[in-house]
Amino acid sequence: MAEGKDNVAPLTGTKRLADAVRAAKIAAAHRSDVVVDIREADRARLEILAEALQPVIDDIPAGDEFFDLALSGGPQPRFWVDGTAHVSMARDRRTYRFVRETRIGRLTLAESTDMRTVADRVTTYIAERIVEREKAFAEPDNATIDRRTPRDDPGDGEPIRPAAPAASQPSFAFALSWLLIGMAIGAGILFAIATLRGLQIR
C-alpha cells in the first residue's frame, strides 16, 4: 500500500508541471502577440510618414543613391532617410523621433507627436544634405580658379598660355657664377701656396 502511494505522488507532480508549462506557453504567446501588435502599429505610423514624404521622394532623381527613404523591419521598425539618419517611434508609441548618428553620438533632430512637424524636418534635412553635397563637388573647381593669376585670364580672345619657368634660368646663372668665382679663388689659393713653398725651398 505504501508503495502505491509513492507511485501516485510523482504522477500528481508531473501533471501540475505540465499545467504550469502550458500556462507559461499561453502567457508567452500573449506577450508575443502584444509585441507583434506594437511592432505593426509602429510600422503603420511610419508608413503614414512615408506617404506624407512621397512628394519629396518623387522629386529626388531616380539614380540618386545618396538617400535611402525606405522602411526597415526588425524588432524596431525605422524609416531610413540616409545611411546615418532615420525616424523611429519613441517608447510611448505616439512620438516620432528623427535622429542622426554622428561621431560624437546620436543627435535628435526632431521629436514630436505631430507627424507633419517631423516630415517637414526630414524635408529640410534632405535639402541641407543636397546643398552640402553640391558644395563639396564645387570645391575642386573653386580651388583651381583661385590658383590662377591675373596674367592667366584670357584677353581679347587670346588663348591662355602656361607660365614659363622664368625663375629657373636666373637661378642657374647665379649658381654658375658662384661656381666660377669659387674655382678662381681656389686656383689663386693654390698658386699662392705653391709660390710660398718655392720661396722656402730656395
DSSP symbols for 144-168: HHHT--GGGS--TTPPP-PPP-TTH
| pTM: predicted TM-score of the whole model, two decimal places | 0.54
Please give the pLDDT value at position 51.
Answer: 92
Give dist(CA 184, CA 7) in Å, integer.
125
Please give the pLDDT value at position 101.
Answer: 93
- Please report which helix (H) or strand (E) contains residue 126, including its range: helix 115-146
Please state, in angstroms and as integers, the Cα–Cα distance from residue 84 to each residue in 72, 143, 194, following that order: 14, 29, 83
pLDDT along the chain (202 residues), means of 10: 49 65 70 72 91 91 84 89 94 92 93 94 94 84 52 52 54 79 85 74 52
Please give the pLDDT value at position 39.
Answer: 85
By the 8 A CB rule, do 61 and 75 touch?
Answer: no
70 forms beta bridges with 80
Give dist(CA 131, CA 125) in Å, integer.
10
Give dist(CA 123, CA 107) in Å, integer.
17
- Please report which helix (H) or strand (E) contains residue 42, including its range: helix 2-52
Length of the chain: 202
* Residue matched to cell numbers 534632405: 126
* Residue matched to cell numbers 508609441: 93
Please give the pLDDT value at position 158.
Answer: 54
In degrees and rounded to multiples of 5, residue 77 shows phi and psi of -60, 145
Please give the pLDDT value at position 82.
Answer: 93
Please give the pLDDT value at position 8.
Answer: 47
